[in-house]
Amino acid sequence: MELRKINTQDAFAQWEYTTALPAEENGLTNPYNGVSYDEYVEKVLPELISYEHPVNMPEWFVPETYYYLWDDGHLVGEFRIRHYLTQALRTGAGHIGYSILKGVRGKGYGTEGLRLTVMIAKDIIPEDEIYLRVNKDNIASQKVMKKNGARLAGEDETHLFMRIAK
Ligand SMILES: CC(C)(COP(=O)(O)OP(=O)(O)OC[C@H]1O[C@@H](n2cnc3c(N)ncnc32)[C@H](O)[C@@H]1OP(=O)(O)O)[C@@H](O)C(=O)NCCC(=O)NCCS
């Protein structure tokens, strides 16, 4: 299993994943649900790649790198790392967002993918802890976080705020 940074060579597999990912699921948003392959290659992919070193983006935009989890030649999940916290991210979505392909959930990919993502994030983010947010009813994702050493740091009405020490 490996994490590969978003790239142009894997465009087709990345498009298949992106176009099938729901527009919203458990707080994870995807504005590109249903996008055509042509639009993905011409517009969406260059934009997502550029997020690592944003140009002409609003002041509030934090650099974000997309990674894909591959197992035996199959793309099975997506992991996004936001490079540092703003006040909005600190009390909101935190550093990392992820999803696993619907057909292969429950096989350990989420747990292993977050482990690999945290290893990369430790070298990127300046904060002492990796901030994560999860819906209170999202038991699978809470397990993924806990199995990666996350501790409960707080909650609001609908979310748990979890942190993984660097
Ligand atoms: C959350 C998600 C990434 C988990 O990925 P996954 O590959 O299924 O996770 P794992 O296989 O590593 O499973 C982790 C644990 O959750 C459990 N689990 C999986 N699906 C579950 C479900 N629907 N209900 C309860 N537990 C579940 C697994 O059994 C496992 O627990 P165990 O180790 O005690 O057996 C995946 O369900 C997903 O993409 N969900 C939609 C997007 C999302 O919620 N992203 C996270 C936002 S915080």
Tens of pLDDT along 21-36?
A: 999 999 899 999 999 9
Q: Is the pLDDT of residue 131 over 90?
A: yes
- What is the pLDDT, as a whole number, of residue 56? 87
Q: Is the CB of 76 under 6 A from ligand 1?
A: no
Between CA 29 and CA 38, with CA 34 as vertex, the angle to 5 degrees is 120
Centre of ligand 1 to C-alpha 99, Å, is 9
- 3 state SS of 20: helix
Six-digit token pair at 54?
Answer: 């944003």
> 3 pairs with which residues across the strands?
69
pLDDT tens digits for 73-128?
999 999 999 999 999 999 999 999 999 999 999 999 999 999 999 999 999 999 99
> 64 pairs with which residues across the strands?
82
Centre of ligand 1 to C-alpha 144, Å, is 6
Rounded to 5 degrees, what are φ and ψ at 42? -80, -35
- What is the pLDDT, as a whole number, of residue 15? 98
